[in-house]
Chain A
Amino acid sequence: MPAEQAPLLAVRDVSKSFGAVAAVRDVSFPLYAGEAHALVGENGAGKSTIVKMLAGVHRPDTGTIEMDGAPLALSSPADARAAGIAVIYQEPTLFPDLSVAENIAMAKPPRGRFHAIDRARMVRDATALFERLGVDIDPARPARGLSIADQQLVEIAKALSADARVLVMDEPTAALSTVEVERLFTVARSLRDRGAAVLFISHRFEEITALCQRVTVMRDGRHVSTDPLAGLTVDDLVRRMVGRDLSTLYPRRSTTPGDVVLEVDGLRRDGVFRDVSFQVRAGEIVALAGLVGSGRSEVAQAVFGVDPRDAGTVRVHGRQLRAGSPRAAMAAGLALVPEDRRLQGLVMDASIARNVTLPRSGALARLGLLFGGAERRAAAEWTARLQTKYGRLADAVSTLSGGNQQKVILAKWLATLPRVLMVDEPTRGIDVGTKAEVHRLISGLAEDGVAVLMVSSELPEVLGLADRVLVMREGRLVAELDRADATEESVMFAAVGQRKREAATTGATSAAGEQPAEKGVEVAL
């Protein structure tokens, strides 16, 4: 084990901002040869930004990345590769039309006569690499159609062929089965034991303990700690990941939930989520928490009918909702404010007025024609209620700030007078002030008797707003916590599938009754 050796690679006082958002601030940590290093943190803690800087995709605003003590200028992915840094992303980046061997050799193909690519040697090299890795992929086949696990193994072969000294793996296991994870780890360990430094990013603690010797915790873009993993418990890690002062910005409401408005029973979408059942009452805010990829957004989309569902029922006011029909959902009083504003929420090039009135263009039309007057009046009313700041209603939505865009989306759906409002990451990427406004708005709606289902990755938001917290992990509802029991730790423990000795169980009693106790052993897929 590395005692006082010099680090192979060191991240030093690195900061990176995107616009006004500081993604990473003054982060430093070392990577040692022959060691696997875990990087953990909540969603949005800045881990992926660190990865992208190591990959040469982003350049740090300040600070340096050093290798063997000398600063590296990583201004492109080619630089990173030349420096011996290989990155494996959650979604592999192979070329589907090219053969596996070509994918591996793309950066530096073997040359033969006339300096042309020596295909035979390329295939031999790939075969040799796969033999070294102990995996069995035909190098001559195209990359198209390989499973994610196989694609990741090809990525590792790529790293091997480049003699990578630093292997960065950004949540490589998210889509893998246990067997596949073990095979990936076998390969990663043998690389590590041959003197490479491995940086491993994962949300699964059992994987981190299985592979890593050292762990760096990040929170809100800042470095929290770097320690040997040996002395740490899962409790310690979770506390460091979430341990921020719970903001007191959240408006408290007197909650007197009314009748059940939304009833979801046994909802399943194959390979995405299953056995999802819950209810939302009038005037209640229910948060759907969990890690990115746990299936939260997909549940909301299936309830609304944007995504198909394979089993289960959705009832609104006791009436069953047709599957796969957002129109029917809207008619029943549902509204969904999606996660991705640009892709799903707004028509970026259309005017503010047009965007606000889009779901109601049928109702506002006369004789099937839309007249600008009705659109403008309706849009003016709702944007004023939400205190949206804009120049003119005819301006394109793309000219607004993120926060105001979010208000336009909210206005658009609130104008349909929904009885159930589903919001997916309502405050992602908007500034603190607007955030608070959006929070006030959501609780105001609940006070008016709207049933609110909120998907959020921000724990303070979840804890501050929600009357009940549903926690999802790997496509299942694993816990239901009342406001009193929901703490950052209890939610996080449920989300990552670890239970704090006794505290979390008491918190999860009410809801997790039918969930058997051995959550941790659950095998994905």
Chain B
Amino acid sequence: MTTVEDSVRTMPARAMPARTSVLERVLRAREISIVLALALLVLVTAIGHPSFVHSQSIRDILLGAAILGVLAVGQTIVVITRNIDLSVGSVLGLSAFAAGTLLMNHPGMPIIVAVLVGIAVGAGCGLVNGLLVRFGDVPALVVTLGTLYAYRGVAYLWAGGSQINADELPDGFLKFGTATVLGVPYLVLIAVAVLVVAGVVLRSYPAGRQLYALGSSPDGARLAGIPVGRRTLAAFLASGTLAGLAGVLFAARFGTVDAAAGNGYELNVVAAVVVGGVAIFGGSGSVWGAALGALLLTTIGSALPVLGVDQFWQQAIVGALILLAIGIDRLIAARVAAALKKRGSHVR
């Protein structure tokens, strides 16, 4: 047995190559390319129409991106686990209507209560999604497609044809939608705070890493002793909660809420997430990328009308962007796979 021990000791360990993993470099490249695309878009638009970089329109873009970004953070958490939450648009509508109704009926109520109620409504919806996915053993796509209609139905049932208008809401709440700190709107600060917290948890805390693990290999996660059911449930709960928060932000920003609020948002959110480099099959991607995706899509939505591009082309361009993002993903994946295979770890 001496030879064995000797060989263990004498097998030389090669100097480790570059610290950053291939994976991280690719992800960073994705974030950089979105920033570049964004800069290019703003530049081109601003050259033709200088008013585009006026502070008011930038504020509009940021407010839009803040709401979409909060949704995108929630969606990312779910998509990382190899699931999807299509109900976020309906949850947003329901929560916006709940918060609005509460404030309309009790104008004296502290705003924070309304915010918390909106968030709670979202959390409840997310919990239902999570329970159905976990215990119903039904794919998330189907479950949340169902709840997309169900939650919207609840909103219609509740609102009837009625609409909450800005003049029915307390001033404090509307101010909350427009107030700024050092020129930055509250809503944007809230979105950034959400982004940072989610980003740090996903990156640096075991619970976050376990979400990546179970999206990367559900069977492996089970064998590794990760509480797969609980983590999946938590992901949907987070997504619902953030959709609830987005609903309150929506109500504060627009002041006008009816049962159709947030209709169709789910597709924008999924688009933002995919463009932001979150793998739809789970296991990789970051909230930073998703938030940048949301910002890019919102900017496109504002820039194209300024450039005189008609509505139809706007949608086609967003579509093309998604296909481009997916195409780049496949290309990079193939390249990386080849590179990793070549980096055979045992050169002796």
Chain A positions near chain B (C-beta within 8 angstroms):
55-57, 76-81, 87, 89, 93-99, 102, 106-107, 109, 115-117, 119, 123, 127, 130-142, 144-147, 150, 183, 186-187, 189-190, 193
Contacts and interface: CB of A to CB of B under 8 A. Distances in A.
B340 A142 contact: yes
Which 4 A-B pairs have CB atoms at the shortest separation, nearest pair first? A78-B225, A145-B340, A134-B11, A97-B283
A133 B204 CA distance: 27
Nearest to A102: B209
Given A142-B22, A142-B23, A127 B209 contact: no
B223 A55 contact: yes
Nearest to B222: A77
B interface residue count range (under 10 / 10 to 19 / 20 to 34 / 35 or more): 35 or more
Interface of B: 1, 4-5, 7-14, 16-23, 200, 204-206, 209-210, 212-213, 215-217, 219-227, 279, 283-284, 336-337, 340-341, 343-347
Contacts of B21: 99, 140-142
A95 B346 contact: no
Contact of A116 (B11, B19, B205, B220): B205
A107 B224 contact: yes
B340 A116 contact: no
B345 A190 contact: no
Given A95-B221, A96-B283, A97-B284, A141 B340 contact: yes
Contacts of A183: 346
16 contacts: A56-B225, A89-B223, A94-B217, A95-B216, A95-B217, A96-B283, A115-B205, A117-B204, A133-B8, A136-B13, A142-B23, A144-B337, A145-B336, A186-B8, A189-B1, A193-B5
Query: By CB atoms of chain A within 10 A, which of B17, B215, B223 has the most?
Result: B223
Contact of B5 (A97, A119, A135, A190): A190
A337 B170 CA distance: 72
Contacts of B8: 132-134, 186-187, 190
A117 B205 contact: yes
Given A95-B217, A135-B346, 20 more contacts: A55-B223, A81-B224, A87-B223, A93-B220, A94-B217, A95-B283, A106-B210, A106-B213, A117-B205, A134-B9, A134-B10, A134-B13, A135-B11, A136-B12, A136-B14, A136-B346, A138-B345, A186-B4, A186-B7, A189-B1
A123 B21 CA distance: 11
A117 B209 contact: yes
A106 B224 contact: yes
Contacts of A81: 224-225
A97 B9 CA distance: 31
A140 B340 contact: no
Contacts of A141: 21-23, 340, 343
Contact of B4 (A115, A135, A137, A190): A190
B212 A98 contact: yes
B7 A145 contact: no
Contacts of B215: 97
Nearest to B220: A93
B223 A131 contact: no
B338 to A, nearest CB: 9
Contact of A107 (B1, B200, B225): B225
B16 A127 contact: yes
A93 B217 contact: yes
B194 to A, nearest CB: 18
A296 to B, nearest CB: 26
A99 B23 contact: yes
Contacts of B337: 144-145
A96 B22 contact: no
Nearest to B15: A136
B83 to A, nearest CB: 15
A117 B204 CA distance: 5
A237 to B, nearest CB: 24
B224 to A, nearest CB: 6
A147 to B, nearest CB: 7
Contacts of B12: 136
Nearest to A147: B344
A109 B23 contact: no
A131 B8 CA distance: 9
Nearest to A82: B225
Nearest to B210: A106
Nearest to B227: A78
B223 A57 contact: yes
A492 B217 CA distance: 36
Contacts of A107: 224-225
